[in-house]
Structure 1
Amino acid sequence: MFSPRWLAVALRPLTSAVVALGAVGFPALAQLSVSPLVIESTASQGQGQGVIILSNTGETPTRLRVYAEPFTYGRDGLEVLTESDQDLTPYLLFSPRELVIEPGQTRMVRLAARLLPSLGEGEFRAIVFTESLETMPFGTDGNVTVGIIPRVGVTMYVRQGNVAPALEVLSATVQPEDGRIALLVANAGDATARPAVNWALVHNGTTQASGREGETTVIAGGDRNLMIDHTANQEPPLAPGTYTLSGTLTWTLDNRQETLPFSVPVTLPAP
């Protein structure tokens, strides 16, 4: 099964341009598995590498093409770009670019980045898409037939030189859409981090709720909302008021674990 961090589906009406949608799942994708979904490489003599493994677990062949685009992460999620100062795509080679995977077969796509010495130290990144070459029927929009072209993206980071993230927790606010807490984390460093969050909500000196949230990408030079679902298995709901949200961010850098304690106020509104 697909379990992508980010899945894009192109909708192609016969008379319109391509529109990208995020976080959409389709049963037709269930026959393909893709791993890993994040590739991190430290360049040695200007070269970094990685491998994407594609497996067809279905009963019919699947035809795919592979290509790369620059990207970043904004405060609320992934953004595919047309250009970027950290664009890895001009220096990225991969093979094959098109392939057919038979039922039960596993194929590899090899990635090789060759950075120019003139680039200096820094992090360079690309999202490598694996896209179906077969348009799937999706229904109609009036008299216009609509098809979908599913694709899954693997993010690749290649770091050259002495670079590192520098995380700081800025604030915590409750999102009006779904009631979750958005923990705003900035990364002033020159390398991306993917922190997990161990957290606790404390009111009048007593812990009212606690938990752990999985890894979320905080891009180098940017910031990101790390979403905390404090309402899960919480009965009755927490009373409105000002709480202290405290805990620890944890992430891996060069095979060692880094941590950052935090403590910020957050106001829970009335239901």
Structure 2
Amino acid sequence: MKKFFVCGFAALLSFQSFANLLVNPTRVELDNLKNRSAVFTLMNRSENTARYNIYFEDKEMLDSGEFISLDNDRALFSLSDYVRYSPRRLNIEPEQAVKVRLAARLPKSIEKGEYRSYIVFHQIPLAPVKSETDADASEPFSLSISAYLKVSVPVILRVGELDTNLRILDTNIDAGQHAIQVTIGRDGERSSYGDVEIVDAATGRIVGGSKNVAIYTELEQRTFSVPITEQLAANTQLIVRYTENDKLNKAKTVEVGIAL
């Protein structure tokens, strides 16, 4: 009988949904002026020692918010050639934390623009895993699968004073009035991220929202489903507001009024 063994089945998860690994920060922004370095803290919350490989990947955001991996020839604004990091592999003991440091090394000839890659913390086995030799001989094959954590964090490098233009292109309230589909348009030299809020125009009370939404430079627009958290009366006047994070250069706020 042939026996088959499969290992290293990687699951792409964020630290919020996989408590065994805590990663901070969850976004890094560098520039060609003062912010040329960053430090990640990785904490192992499990009861076992964990080993991680660390490397860069390039990805592209789709308008759905999903990502696809890019080959080197398609990653036009990869920052992997401009950033060094250490270590590249590490072990983390249970309930212990370690540091990963990265720093930008920019040539004078680098072009103005926004560069982005994703630093990946990919769990690997501490030692090769062997299939059991005493598997039931009556079984046609033996299958063993181990799930290894893979966390990716965006690292953004902005060269020069970059700006962007924003506008709310469309809003649609769902039939049950539980969410509003908000389409935000973007053009310019840098990406955008921030918070979408639904505000009761009469009282100024926030009645819904989505935090830390992002529109990267490969997209000209993106639609978000923004939940409404309160029961509202018919014909309530609302303000849909998108506010960029104040860390961004010339951070902007755009809004539009709608009625239920």
User: Would you say same fold, with TM above 0.5?
Assistant: yes
For structure 1, the 5+ residue unaligned runs are 1-12, 137-141
**C-alpha separation between the residues in 1 aligned to 2:148 and 2:76?**
29
d(CA) in 2 for partners of 1:145, 1:93: 36
Query: Matched residues in 1 for 2:77 and 2:63: separation?
Result: 18
Deviation at 1:238, TM superposition (A): 6.2
Q: Does 1:251 align with 2:244?
A: yes
Give the direction of change, closer, same or farther, for the CA distance of 1:114–1:243 in structure 2 (3 Å limit). farther
1: CA distance, partners of 2:51 / 2:183: 40
2:51 is aligned with 1:51: no
1:92 to 83, 86, 91: 83
Deviation, 1:81, is 2.5
Contact 1:64/1:99 (8 A) holds in 2: yes
Distance between the aligned counterparts of 1:59 and 1:20, measured in 2? 19
| Partners of 1:254 and 1:151 in 2: CA distance | 28
Amino acid at match of 2:242: L
SS at match of 1:163: coil
Matches of 1:22 and 1:189 in 2, distance apart?
31
Paired residue total? 240
| Structure 2 CA distance for partners of 1:125 and 1:256, relative to 1, 3 Å | closer
Q: How far, CA to CA, are the matches of 1:197 and 1:209 in structure 2?
A: 10
Native 8 Å contact 1:171 1:184 kept in 2: yes
**Secondary structure in 1 matching 2:81:** helix
Give the SS at the match of 1:157: strand
Q: What's the CA shift string for 1:156-190, capped at 9, x where partnerless?
A: 101001112322111123568x9632211122021
Once the two structures are superposed, residues 217-255 of structure 1 have per-residue CA deviations (whole angstroms, 9 ceiling, x without a partner) of 11125222233101x343xx766xx87652332223447
- Higher relative CO (Cα under 8 Å, sequence separation at least 6) belongs to 2
Amino acid at match of 1:186: G
Partner Cα separation in structure 2 for residue 129 and residue 251 of structure 1: 26
Higher strand share: 1
Q: Which of 242, 248, 255 is equivalent to 1:262? A: 255
Query: How large is the RMSD of aligned CA atoms in angstroms?
Result: 3.8
1:7 alignment partner in structure 2: none
Give the 3 Å change call, closer, same or farther, for CA 247–107 of structure 1 in structure 2.
Answer: same
Query: TM (normalized to structure 2)?
Result: 0.75
Q: Compute the displacement of 1:16 (Å).
A: 11
How much identity, in percent, do the aligned residues show? 22
CA deviations 1:196-237 (Å, max 9, x no partner) are 1222367xx89998233312111125222233101x343xx7
CA contact (8 A) 1:213 1:228 kept: yes
Stretch of structure 1 that moved more, 76-85 or 160-169: 76-85
Contact 2:9–2:145 (Cα < 8 Å) also in 1:
no
In the TM superposition, what is the alpha-carbon distance from 1:39 to its structure 2 partner?
Answer: 0.5
Residue of structure 2 in register with 1:36 after alignment: 25
Q: Which moved more, 1:82-91 or 1:250-259?
A: 250-259
Q: CA deviation at 1:152?
A: 1.0
| Structural mapping, 1:1-271, within 5 Å | 29-44=18-33, 48-82=36-70, 83-134=74-125, 144-174=143-173, 180-200=179-199, 210-222=207-219, 223-230=221-228, 232-234=229-231, 245-254=238-247, 258-263=251-256, 265=258
Cα distance, 1:34–1:227 mapped onto 2, change above 3 Å: same
Q: Is the 8 A contact 1:246 1:261 kept in 2?
A: no
Flag the 1:174–1:102 CA change in 2: closer, same or farther, 3 A: same
Q: 2-side partners of 1:244 and 1:42: how far apart?
A: 41
The 2-side partners of 1:221 and 1:194 are apart by 14
